[in-house]
Amino acid sequence: MKIKVTKIDKPVRVVILHLDGTLDGSNHQSLFEKAQKLYTIGVRDILLDLSKLTFISSAGLGAIHRVALLFQGKKHLEQDEAWAAYRWATYRATDRGSTSGPLQHIKLFSPTKEVRGILDTIGFTAIFEIYDDLQQATASFRHLTPMELGSGLS
């Protein structure tokens, strides 16, 4: 699999990882390592471009979830821990009473039909926002101001 990195600064700063080929047990670690380097240098919003990803295995799904946990500011999890966390997150997101929503700092862009089918089947569509329009995808990374968040000060 090839990974190309591009950056968009408007409307907000977003780094795009373009994945080309297959994401599986032979290369899943390279995705996490690339994302970890970006996070270390201060990147906080990432868009995974899946438009040229022809196949994704369970190891690849685990890698995407590890990246998601990283960009949520979670501690570094080993692959097995991340997979267990993914299963729990998917269960909670699909539970009708759940208040957890889609992840805010990582989104998926334009998955191929085959990859989209896998994402739908395993429940990633419940925890990841998926876009087919690049402008909408980048605009979705809108940062709330302290006023919008509510400062809690009286």
Instruction: Determine, yes or no, domain membership for 152.
Output: no
Q: Structural domain of residue 21, as residue ranges? A: 2-144
Coil/strand/helix, residue 129: coil
- Cα gap 124→93, rounded to integer Å: 9
If you ran DSSP here, which 8-state letter would residue 69 be given? H
Task: Say if 50 falls within a structural domain.
Answer: yes
| Within-domain flag for 76 | yes
Number of domains in the chain: 1
- What is the per-residue pLDDT across 55-109, written as a single tens digit (0 to 9) for each? 999 999 989 989 998 998 876 555 555 555 555 555 444 444 444 456 889 999 9
In this structure, is residue 59 part of a structural domain?
Answer: yes
124 lies in some domain: yes
Residue 150 placed within a domain:
no
Residue 154 lies in a domain: no
Q: Residue 130: enclosing H or E segment and its boundaries?
A: strand 130-131
Instruction: Give the pTM.
Output: 0.80
Is 136 contained in some domain? Answer: yes
CATH of the domain at 31: 3.30.750.24
Percentage of the chain modeled with pLDDT above 90: 57
